[in-house]
Chains A and B, each alone.
Chain A
C-alpha cells in the first residue's frame, strides 16, 4: 500500500511529466520568417539545349533508310546559365549542370530568398545553350510582395519560358 506522501510525490511527478510534454508540444511558438518578410523561391527544372547540326545529304545517304534523321543531336545537354537581380542588385548567379552520367538529364535549381515585403524590380535571365551568346529567356517585372507571401520563379517552355507565380 502506498503511503500518502508517496502518492502525493507520484501525482506531482506524473503531473510534471505531462506538463513538460504539454508545454513543449506546442510552445514556444515558432516564427519561420519575420512578419515583414516575403519569400521568393527560385525553382527551375529544365533540360538544357542540345547543339544539333543538320546532316548533309551525303551523310544521310550512307545511313540505313530507317535511321535517316535529318538532325544529328548529341546526347549531352548544355549547361544553363541563370542570373537573378532584385532592384538592380545581383542576388544569384549560377551555372547549372545537367544531371546523369552522360549529362543528359535535367538541370535543376532550388533556392529561397527572403526579401522585404513591398514592391521590387525582379529580373531573371536564363541561357540554356552556352554555345550561343546572350540569354534566351529574360523576365523583368515589377512585383509587389505581401508579408509572408511566397512567389515562385519557375520555367516552363509551354508557358513562354520564365514565369512568376
Chain B
C-alpha cells in the first residue's frame, strides 16, 4: 500500500468513527459531518444575508468606514452588532466546514472518475473563499485590517505581477483614499458572487443536491452562532495607523493564518506551499486509484422510458432521449463519464421484477457486473440450498456491514454493489420462493457512498417511492438495517433477534403463497 493510500485510509477511518459517533445524538439526516457541503452552503447564505445588511449601513470613507462599523457593534449591538458577528463567525465556520469537506471527500476517495468534475471545480473555490475572507477583513480598516493589507500586498509583491510594489499603497495614511474602500467593497461583493457561481458549477453534475441541511440542523447552527455573537461579539481592533506596526491583536486564525505563516517562514515558502498544494489537489486524480467499474447499460427493447432511473440517479448520469424504435416513447441514455456504477438505476427499473416470465430476466437498464438475471439466479440457488427451521436471506451492501460471515445453512447472503440496486420485488420473490424472512442491510442514513442508495432503498421498501414493495408483503418478515462497515456485530445481533421474532410467529398466517417460476402460468 502506498503512503498516500495509507494516509487516506487512516483519515477515512477517523472520519468514519467520528461520523458514526455523531450518529448517536444526531441521527443520519441531521448529522452535520455527513452533510458538510450543505452545511457550507448554509453558512455561506448566513454570510451573504448578514453581509447585505452590513453593506447597506457601511460608509465608505477612511475614517467613516471604521466608525460606521464601530457604530453597529457599540450602538446597534442588538441588530447590526449581532449581524456583524454572525457575518464573521459564519465566515469562519464556512472555512472550517470547507476544509473538513475537502479532507473528507479526499479520504473517501471522491476525487476521480465520475467525481472528477466536482473535485476539479471545487479547488478554485478555496482560493475564492480566502480572497473574499481576507478582503473582508480589510474593510473594517482597523489595525488587523492594516496588518492584513500590508502583509498581503507584501506577499503579492513577491510574485512578478506588479510593475510597482503594491505594498507602496500602504506606506502612509496619505497614500490611501476613500476610493480604495469603494474598490474593496466592489471586490468583496464580486468575489463571493464568483464563489456562488463556482458552487453552482461544483454541484452541477449532481442530482438531488442537498442545497441546505435539514431544518433542525439549520436552526441549531443559527442558534449556536447567534448565542456566540451575543456572548462574544465581533469587535474592531483600534483604528489603522500606518505610521505604526500594530501591537497585540485579536486574530482570526481561520482566515488570516497565512500572515503569521509568512512571518514565520518567507513569501517564497508560502507561495510554494499554496501553489504546491493546489497543484497536488489538481493532480490527485492522476495518482493510482481503484479501477473504474462497468457502467450501467440500457436495453432499448426493455426500456419503457418511464423516467425512474433518470429521477433516481444520484449523479445525473441518465438522460431521456426519444426512443429510436418506438415513436412517442423515451429511452434512457447513460453518460459513461458520470455513471457511478452503483446500480441504483437497475433497482429503480420496473422491468427488473423477478416475476417476469422469461427464462432470462432482461431489464431496461442493468449492471454488467451484476445483472438482475444473475441476481435472480443467485437468489434461487441460495434459497434452494437453505435448510433449517427459519431460512433468512440477507441482501447486503458491499460497502456496509459485513454480512458474508453470517452465511450459514439457514442464512444466505447476497452482496450488492449498493442496496439501491435491489428491485423491491426481489424481497417478495424471495419470500414466495422459500425464505421465511428477508434482511436488507443498507448503509447508515446519509452514509451511502453513492449518496442516495440507503434513502431510495428505505423509501421503496416502505412504499413511499416507485417501484415500491407491494403492501401485501408482511412487514414482520422484512427487516431493513442501516449500518456501516463498523456495524457488522450489530447486524449479527439484529439478524439473530429477527430470526427469534420470526420463529415466535409459529405457523404464521402471514406467509405469502409460494411462487415457482418454472411452474407458474407465466412460464
User: Which A residues are closer than 8 A to B by beta carbons?
Assistant: 5-10, 13-15, 17-22, 24-33, 35, 38-39, 41, 43, 45, 99-100, 105-106, 108-110, 112, 148-150, 152, 154, 165
Q: Tally A-B pairs: CB < 8 A.
A: 125
- Residue from A18, A24, A112 in contact with B227 in the complex, judged by beta carbons closer than 8 Å: A18
Whether B244 contacts A17 by the Cβ 8 Å rule is no
User: Which B residues are closer than 8 A to A by beta carbons?
Assistant: 22, 24-27, 32, 88-89, 92-93, 96, 147, 151, 154, 157, 163-165, 167-168, 171-172, 220-221, 223-225, 227-228, 231-232, 234, 242-254, 259-260, 263
Alpha-carbon distance between A13 and B27 when the two chains are bound, in angstroms: 13
Whether A149 contacts B244 by the Cβ 8 Å rule is yes
Whether B163 contacts A14 by the Cβ 8 Å rule is no
Whether A43 contacts B26 by the Cβ 8 Å rule is no
Q: Which 8 A-B pairs have the closest CB atoms?
A: A9-B25, A110-B165, A30-B251, A26-B250, A18-B224, A14-B224, A18-B228, A6-B25
CB distance from B236 to the nearest CB of A (A): 12
Chain A positions within 8 Å of B244 at CB level: 148-150
- Residue from B172, B228, B246 in contact with A22 in the complex, judged by beta carbons closer than 8 Å: B228
Whether A22 contacts B25 by the Cβ 8 Å rule is no
- Residue from B220, B234, B251 in contact with A14 in the complex, judged by beta carbons closer than 8 Å: B220
CB distance from B446 to the nearest CB of A (A): 15
Alpha-carbon distance between A165 and B375 when the two chains are bound, in angstroms: 83
CB distance from B196 to the nearest CB of A (A): 22
Whether B224 contacts A150 by the Cβ 8 Å rule is no
CB distance from A131 to the nearest CB of B (A): 24
9 example contacts (A-B, Cβ-Cβ < 8 A) are as follows A14-B223, A15-B224, A25-B92, A38-B245, A106-B163, A110-B168, A148-B246, A165-B171, A165-B172
Say yes or no: A99-B172 contact (C-beta < 8 A), given A22-B232, A32-B246: no
CB distance from B171 to the nearest CB of A (A): 5
Say yes or no: A112-B154 contact (C-beta < 8 A), given A6-B25, A22-B232, A29-B250: yes
Alpha-carbon distance between A30 and B164 when the two chains are bound, in angstroms: 29
Whether A5 contacts B25 by the Cβ 8 Å rule is yes
Residue of A nearest to B163 (CB): A99
Alpha-carbon distance between A5 and B228 when the two chains are bound, in angstroms: 23
CB distance from B424 to the nearest CB of A (A): 28
Chain B positions within 8 Å of A33 at CB level: 245
